Structure 1
Amino acid sequence: MENSNSEPRRRASAAVCDYDHTSAGFKCPELLEQHLVSDLDLKKKNRFKRLTRNRVIPITLTLVIFALTASVISLWTTFNRQVDGSGKDNLFQSTRVTSGETVGIRLHPEDHVYRKPQTRNYNWVVTSGVRSPDGVQKEVYLINGDFPGPTIEARTGDTITVSVTNALDDEGVSIHWHGLHMRGTNHMDGAVGFTQSLIPVGEKFIYEFQVKNQDGTFWYHAHSHVQRGDGLYGGLVVHKPREDTAGMNIRDYESEVLLLVGDWFHRSAPTMLDWYTSVKGFGNEPVPDSLLINGLGKFDCSMAVAARPLNCSEEVQIRPIFHDSSSKRLRLVNVGSIAGLSIGIKNAKLDPFQVDGGFDIAGVPSDSVGVVYPGERVDLVIQWDENSKTEGSSLTISLDQENFRYPNPALAPVQSFPALPSPESIKAALNLPSSVVASTTFNLQTAHGASSFLYPTIPYSADETLILYAKTLKLSKAANHPMGTINRTSWSPQEPPLIEIPRSSWDDNQLVPFISLPENPTNRVSKDGVWVDIIINNLDDGSHPFHLHGHDFFVLDSQRSESGWGSYRLATFPPPSPSVEPPLVLDRGPVLRKDTVMVPRYGYVILRFRADNPGIWMFHCHLLVHLGSGMAMGIEVGN
Structure 2
Amino acid sequence: MAQAKDEETFELLRDEVVEEQEQPGYELRKRRIERGIFSKTLRPLGFVFAALFLITILSRDSSVLFRSAPPSTSIDSVEDVFDDYAQEKMLGIRLHPQDHVSRPPTTITHHWNITAEFHSPDGVKKLVYLVNGQFPGPTIECRSGDRLVIHVTNHLVSEGVSIHWHGLEMRNANEMDGAVGFTQCPIAERKTSTYEFEVGEEQAGTFWWHAHSEVGRGDGMYGGLVIHEQTDVLDDTEDYGYEDDVLLLIGDWYHRTAREVLAWYTSTRGFGNEPVPDSLLVNGAGKFICSMAVPARPVECVDIEDKDMTSILGAKTLTKPTRLRLVNVGSLAGFTIQISSAKLKPLTVDGGFPIVGEFADSVGIVYPGERLDVLVQWDNQASSNFPQLHISLDPEYDPSHPTPAPTDQPHRNFKYPNQALRPNQSFPVLTSSSQTSSSIAREPVRFDLATAVAASPSAIPSTPDQTILLYAKTQKLSIDNNHPSGFMNRTSWSPQSSPPFPLISLPRSKWDANQLIPYIPASSNSETWVDIVINNLDDGAHPFHLHGYSFYILASYRSDHGWGSYSPYATSGASAMKPKLNLENPIRKDTVSVPRRGYVVIRFKADNEGIWVLHCHVLFHQASGMAMGIQVGGGEGHEIVDERGKEFCAASS
Q: Which of the five TM-score ranges fits, normalised by the shorter chain? A: 0.7 to 0.9
Query: What is residue 421 of structure 1 aligned with on the other side?
Result: 431
Quick check: 2:472–2:626 contact (8 Å CA) kept in 1? yes
CA distance in 1, matches of 2:63, 2:148: 32
Picking from 51, 55, 61, the partner of 1:71 is 55
Task: Report how far residue 404 of structure 1 moved.
Answer: 0.9
CA offsets 1:16-47 (integer angstroms, 9 cap, x no match): xxxxxxxxxxxxxxxxxxxx655269969999
- The one-letter code of the counterpart of 2:230 is P
Local SS of the residue matching 1:570: coil
For 1:618, give the aligned amino acid: V
Contact residue 473 and residue 538 of structure 2 kept, 8 A: yes
**By how many angstroms is 1:322 displaced?**
1.2
Distance 1:64 1:355 in 2: 44
User: What is the deviation of 1:422?
Assistant: 3.3
- How far residue 566 of structure 1 moved from its aligned partner, in angstroms, is 0.5
Alignment of 1:158-169 (within 5 A): 158-169=146-157
Aligned to 2:175: 187
Spell out, residue by residue over 1:51-92, the C-alpha distance to the aligned partner (whole angstroms, 9 max, x if none): 999785898x999867654431221354647xxxxxxx9xx8
Report whether the alignment pairs 1:629 with 2:619.
no
Determine the C-alpha separation between the residues in 2 that align with 1:219 and 1:427: 31
Instruction: Provide the C-alpha distance between the structure 1 equivalents of 2:49 and 2:338, rounded to a whole number of angstroms.
Output: 42
The corresponding residue for 2:545 is 547
Q: Displacement of 1:242 after TM fit?
A: 1.1
**Counterparts of residues 297-316 of structure 1 (less than 5 Å):** 297-316=286-305
- Conserved? CA contact 1:572–1:584, under 8 Å: no
Displacement of 1:95 = 8.0
Distance 1:581 1:39, change over 3 A: closer
Please give the per-residue CA displacement for 1:187-206, whole angstroms capped at 9, x wherever unaligned. 00000000011011111111
1:268 aligns with 2:257: yes
Q: Is the 8 A contact 1:222 1:232 kept in 2?
A: yes
Deviation for aligned residue 1:327: 1.1
| Secondary structure in 2 matching 1:76 | coil
CA separation of 1:251/1:581 partners in 2, compared to 1, >3 Å: closer, same or farther? farther
| Number of the residue aligned with 1:439 | 444
CA distance in 2: counterparts of 1:172 and 1:62, whole angstroms: 42
Residue 486 of structure 1: which of 478, 485, 488 is its match?
488
Change (3 A) 1:80 1:384: closer
Q: What is the correspondence of 1:248-263 to structure 2 with a 5 Å cutoff?
A: 252-263=241-252
Matches within 5 A, 1:5-24: none
CA distance in 1, matches of 2:240, 2:33: 34
Residues 92-121 of structure 1: per-residue CA shift (max 9 Å, x gap) = 879898796111000000000010011111
Pair 347,504 (structure 1): closer, same or farther in 2 beyond 3 Å:
same
2:470 to 468, 471, 477: 468
Task: Tell me the C-alpha RMSD between the 2 structures.
Answer: 3.0
| Aligned match for 1:294, one of 273, 280, 283 | 283
Deviates more, 1:311-320 or 1:461-470: 311-320
Q: 2:563: which partner in 1?
A: 565
Measure the CA separation in 2 of the matches of 1:251 and 1:178.
26
- 2:512 corresponds to 1:507: yes
Residue deviations 1:556-583 (CA, integer Å, cap 9, x gap): 0000001221001325799xxxxx9966
Equivalent in 523, 528, 531 of residue 529 of structure 2? 531
Of stretches 626-635 and 96-105 in structure 1, the one that deviates more from structure 2 is: 96-105
Asked if 1:384 corresponds to 2:378, the answer is: yes
Please state whether the residue corresponding to 1:117 is helix, strand or coil: coil
**Do the aligned partners of residues 423 and 532 (structure 1) sit closer, same or farther apart at CA in structure 2, a change above 3 Å counting?**
same
Structure 2 CA distance for aligned equivalents of residues 182 and 228 of structure 1: 20
Is the 1:101–1:319 Cα contact (8 Å) retained in structure 2? yes
- CA deviation string 1:374-425 (max 9, x = no partner): 000001100012266653211000000121111110000000011112356x
2:246 aligned with 1:241 = no
State the shift of 1:599 in Å: 0.1
* Pair 1:573–1:192, CA change in 2 (3 A): farther
Alpha-carbon distance, 1:347 to partner: 0.8
The corresponding residue for 2:523 is 518
Task: Name which of structure 1's ranges 169-178 and 388-397 shifts more when overlaid on structure 2.
Answer: 388-397
Aligned equivalent of 2:326: 332
Mapped partners of 2:130, 2:22: distance in 1: 16
**Within 1, Cα distance between the matches of 2:350 and 2:371?**
5
Tell me: CA distance 1:612–1:312, structure 2 relative to 1, closer, same or farther (3 Å). Answer: same
Q: Does residue 412 in structure 1 map to residue 422 in structure 2? A: yes
CA pair 41-631 structure 1, distance change in 2 beyond 3 A: farther
Higher relative contact order (CA 8 A, sep 6+): 1
Residues 497 and 304 of structure 1, relative CA distance in 2, 3 Å threshold: same
Q: Quick check: 1:278 aligned with 2:267?
A: yes
Match of 1:123?
111
Q: Is the 8 A contact 1:467 1:536 kept in 2?
A: yes
* 2:312 is the counterpart of 1:321: yes
Could you state the TM-score of these two structures normalised by the residue count of structure 1? 0.83
Which secondary structure does the structure 2 equivalent of 1:160 belong to? strand
**Aligned pairs (5 A) from 1:32-181:** 37=16, 38-39=19-20, 68-76=52-60, 78=62, 80=64, 101-181=89-169
Contact 2:464 2:529 in 1 (8 A): yes
1:98/1:396 Cα in 2 relative to 1: closer, same or farther (>3 Å)?
Answer: farther
Aligned mates of 1:215, 1:62 — CA distance in 2? 36
Cα distance in 2 for residues equivalent to 1:201 and 1:339: 32
Change (3 A) 1:290 1:62: closer
- CA 518–119 in structure 1, closer or farther in 2 if over 3 Å, else same: same
Deviation digits for residues 458-515 of structure 1 (CA, Å, limit 9, x no counterpart):
1000000000000001000110000000001000011200011110000000000000
> Which amino acid letter does the alignment assign opposite residue 349 of structure 2?
V
- What letter corresponds to residue 445 of structure 1 in structure 2? A
Deviations 1:504-534 (A, max 9, x none): 0000000000001135x3xxxx2xx310000
Q: Would the aligned equivalents of 1:537 and 1:604 in 2 still touch at CA under 8 Å?
A: yes
Question: Displacement of 1:590 after TM fit?
Answer: 1.1
> Among 603, 606, 609, which residue is 1:608 paired with?
603
Per the TM alignment, residue 308 of structure 1 is displaced from its structure 2 partner at its CA by 1.1
Which runs of 5 or more structure 1 residues have no equivalent in the other structure? 1-35, 82-88, 575-579
Does the C-alpha gap of structure 1 residues 47 and 421 become closer, same or farther in structure 2, counting only changes over 3 Å?
A: farther
CA 1:78–1:364 in 2, change beyond 3 Å: closer, same or farther? closer
In structure 2, distance between residues paired with 1:143 and 1:337: 19
1:537 maps to a residue whose letter is: N
Task: Name the CA distance, whole Å, in 2 between partners of 1:58 and 1:145.
Answer: 28
Contact 1:94 1:131 in 2 (8 A): no
Given that 1:93 and 1:131 are in contact with CA atoms closer than 8 Å, whether structure 2 keeps it comes out as no
| Equivalent position SS for 2:614 | strand
> Which residue number corresponds to residue 16 of structure 1?
none
What is the distance in 2 between the residues matched to 1:534 and 1:64?
61
Larger mean Cα displacement after TM superposition, 310-319 or 465-474: 310-319
How many residues align? The count is 570
SS of the residue corresponding to residue 229 of structure 1 reads helix
Distance 2:547 2:608 in 1: 10
After superposing the two structures, state which structure 1 stretch, 97-106 or 582-591, moved more.
Answer: 97-106
- SS of 1:428 mapped into structure 2: coil
Normalising by structure 2, we get a TM-score of 0.82
Gaps of at least 5 residues in structure 2 are: 1-14, 72-84, 397-412, 635-653
Structure 2 CA distance, aligned partners of 1:147 and 1:390?
Answer: 32
Give 2:459's aligned residue: 457
CA–CA distance in 2 between the matches of 1:537 and 1:466? 11
